[in-house]
Amino acid sequence: MRFLSSLNREQREAVGLLQIGTFLEYFDLMLYVHMAVLLNELFFPKTDPHTASLIAAFAFCSTYVLRPFGALIFGYIGDNIGRKTTVIITTMMMATSCIIMANLPTYAQIGVTAAWVVTICRMVQGLSSMGEIIGAQIYIAEITQPPVAYAAVAFIAVASALGAMAAVGVAALTTQYGFNWRTAFWIGACIAVVGSVARTRLRETPEFVDMKRTIKAAVEKSRETKPAKAKKLEEATAKLFQEKVPFATSLSYFVINCGWPLSFYLVYVYFIPTLKESYHYSAETVIFHNFLLTIVQVFRCTLWSVASYYIYPLKISKLKGILCLLLMTSIPVWLSLSTTPVHIFILQALILLFSLNDFPSQYIFMKQFPAYKRFTASSFSYALGRALTYVVTSFAIVYLTEWFNHGGLLLITIPTCLAFLKAISYYEKLDHQPKTSTILSFTKQAA
């Protein structure tokens, strides 16, 4: 692709390694999500349909509830030790959880312990994926410049979509051709280990290294030339790292990341009962149906990533938000008029195409956070937005649609779309404001 020719050899190697690592990470993460229709029956007790819906929602959101804590943990590591370290640790965590699930006895064998262990493993995978996706995006954002940076960072989403597609492909083999599901998790564990080893080739990002070196050099220079000022600079250093990111910036990024859980849940979870009850889909058919949707998702990610090289990314995000708002308001009518599973598939594909998320504007969002707090601040807003919405969406939709049928969706979808558009407008204003370097201001004190 054209934007790749703008990268030097080291940048291309870094982008390639991070793409491969993200693919492997999301293959492991999404393997259970897309096999849940089968695995929930193995690891959770059989119950009535309503309780089964709640259990499915619990299993779905258990992956995401601890993500904010993962953001704080990996944010600290990323901002204080390095971006490279985080992406290696997270891949090893994913490998470990896959090994445990590959060997875990079923509910019929050990009872409720199986449900607890698989839930804990899903939580570990959620923690791991938190450091992975943000770590990869920040790494690329700090070694590239616009406009190539827009596409390079956005292509991390392509790798995650490909990982999800591969996971559904394995799930389809498992359910339709008798492929052992435990083997699938062993494959996931092995490729996660390979990903960890491959990432040891990465170098730390120049922006992170320069930030650390600049601050250290400023303090040491003052100790040598202005001893009286050295203490003040050390105090200023501590103050610099304690400085808070503007609340509006964090809040807007939080709001932007509330959109994807809603889109994902609607596409891959909400329509399953309709497909089963109205069109008599089996577990095998549902998984194959989802596999076709992941192909659409890969196409969507590739389309918007390439487009971001030529079109200002926030314009793309705003267009997606407007079209998503129009689409979400039509869902109840669309479902009432649907007569074949093809109609449902088209609706799901359109939701994917115009889904609400930080993609493909991640570079712009990341750069609004100061380098010395970029990992912690961005990942926490990202994780909190997604975790909260996954939980609210998973359980609220069960009850809202029970009370108001499909019209209950509007109580969640419309406010989410409007808030998303407001947050994008905030970042448009922010991105056009002149930027001042806090690190540069700090070093001037040493002069």
In this prediction, residues 355-371 reach a mean pLDDT of 88
Percent of the chain topping pLDDT 70: 77
Q: Is the pLDDT of residue 81 over 80?
A: no
Higher pLDDT, 437 or 95: 95
Nearest to 415 by CA among 330, 328, 353: 328
The single-letter code of the amino acid at 210 is D
Higher pLDDT, 195 or 78: 78
Q: Mapping DSSP to helix (H, G, I), strand (E, B) and coil, where does residue 337 land?
A: helix
Per-residue pLDDT, 278: 84
Per-residue pLDDT, 440: 46
Per-residue pLDDT, 446: 47
Per-residue pLDDT, 221: 57
8 A C-beta contact, residue 341 and residue 275: yes
Q: Is the pLDDT of residue 445 over 60?
A: no
Summarised one tens digit per residue, pLDDT across range 8-62 is: 777 887 888 788 778 877 787 777 766 666 676 777 776 656 555 556 556 555 5
Per-residue pLDDT, 424: 95
* Cis amide linkage into residue 360, ω under 30° from 0: yes
Per-residue pLDDT, 1: 56
Per-residue pLDDT, 228: 57
Per-residue pLDDT, 311: 94
Summarised one tens digit per residue, pLDDT across range 253-300 is: 999 998 888 888 888 888 888 888 888 888 778 878 888 998 999 999
Summarised one tens digit per residue, pLDDT across range 108-161 is: 888 878 877 887 887 787 777 767 778 888 888 888 888 889 999 998 889 888
d(CA 378, CA 381): 5
Higher pLDDT, 242 or 267: 267
- Taking the whole predicted model, whether its pTM rises above 0.85 is answered as no
Number of neighbouring beta carbons within 10 Å of residue 17: 19
Helices (H) and strands (E) in the chain, counts: 20, 0
Q: Is the pLDDT of residue 325 over 90?
A: yes
Angle at 156 (CA atoms; ends 152, 160), nearest 5 degrees: 160
Per-residue pLDDT, 224: 56
At which residue do the structure tokens 């609706």 appear? 347
DSSP symbol at 7: S
Per-residue pLDDT, 80: 74
Q: Where are the alpha helices (DSSP H) in 338-373?
A: 341-353, 362-367
Q: Is the pLDDT of residue 71 over 60?
A: yes
d(CA 70, CA 64): 10
Q: Is the pLDDT of residue 438 over 60?
A: no
In this prediction, residues 222-240 reach a mean pLDDT of 56
8 A C-beta contact, residue 336 and residue 406: yes
Backbone angles phi, psi at 63, to 5 degrees: -70, -25
Q: Which fold has domain 2-444?
A: Growth Hormone; Chain: A; (1.20.1250)
8 A C-beta contact, residue 55 and residue 46: no
Percent of the chain topping pLDDT 90: 19
Residue ranges covered by each domain of the chain: 2-444
* Cis amide linkage into residue 341, ω under 30° from 0: no
In this prediction, residues 301-305 reach a mean pLDDT of 93
